[in-house]
Amino acid sequence: MEPSVVKVLLVTEDKNDYGLIQVLLSEIETATFNLEWVTTASAALGQMPQNHHQVYLVDYRLGGLELLHAAIAQGCRGPIILLIHPGDQTIDVAAFGAIAVDILIKGRIEASLLERAIRYGRQHTHTLTALHESESKLGGILNSLMDVVWSLSATTLEVLYISPAVQRVYGRSEAEFFCQSSSLA
């Protein structure tokens, strides 16, 4: 079986980073990589929302959180792996949990670490995509039911969801039901 081709976009100003990543990717035997390179945040924003790449390796110092937030807001759906500099204490790693799937420290990147980050990042993105598709299907089913379906918080009994059928059954909109749910008893 021939290894798959994984398109990677590297976002960094540093030509040495490009050379190193190119060498490390060539050492990975589980896939073949097609590496593209952009050197500015604006070029990255021109590429990332198009989702033509399966993985994005982004130098934190080239746009930081603003670049990542903008790329995601404009539609980037692929895994973003953040490249940081050794000793860069200004980065709150926890802040990247929902944005970057992994963080690699420049100067300490090995082929095995890069391969793992790419593999796990792609799997994470695949899992999130499947979850969103399932949620969308479930929402469509719940919204089409003729019966009222609701979900309550197990601890507070707060209404978390109520189906649109509440309008037909109770004569109240979903918003009214949330505001006045205690008066329906």
Which among 33, 37, 32, 34 has a CA at the least distance from the CA of 15? Answer: 37
Question: Both 168 and 111 in a single domain?
Answer: no
- Residue 158 sits in which domain range? 145-184
Supply the pLDDT for residue 181. Answer: 52
**Res. 185 pLDDT band, cuts 50 70 90:** very low
CA dist., res. 156 & res. 158, Å (int): 5
Helix (H, G, I), strand (E, B) or coil at 37: strand
Same domain, 101 and 162: no
Task: Return the pLDDT at 50.
Answer: 96
- Assess whether 122 and 158 both reside in one domain: no
pLDDT value at 182 more than 60:
no
- Residue 1 is predicted with a pLDDT of 47
* Residues 72 and 129 grouped into a single domain: yes
Q: Is 104 helix (H, G, I), strand (E, B) or coil?
A: strand
Report pLDDT digits (tens) over 44-58.
999 999 999 999 999
Mean pLDDT to the nearest integer, 11-19: 96
pLDDT value at 183 more than 50:
no
Lowest average pLDDT, out of 11-25, 115-129, 142-156, goes to: 142-156
Tens of pLDDT, residues 139-163 = 898 888 888 888 888 888 888 888 8
Residues 99, 152: one domain? no
The long-range contacts involving 110-116, CB below 8 angstroms and separated by at least 24 positions, are 110/24, 111/24, 111/25, 111/27, 111/28, 114/21, 114/24, 114/25, 114/28, 115/28, 115/30
Q: Does one domain contain both 90 and 117?
A: yes
Total number of domains in the chain: 2
Give CA torsion, residues 41, 42, 47, 50, to 10 deg.
120
Do 128 and 97 reside in the same domain of the chain? yes
162 and 93 part of one domain: no
Task: Please identify, among 118, 137, 156, the residue that sits at the C-terminal boundary of a domain.
Answer: 137
| Helices 15-27 & 111-144 angle (0-180, nearest 10) | 80
Between these two residues, 83 and 92, which has the higher pLDDT value? 83
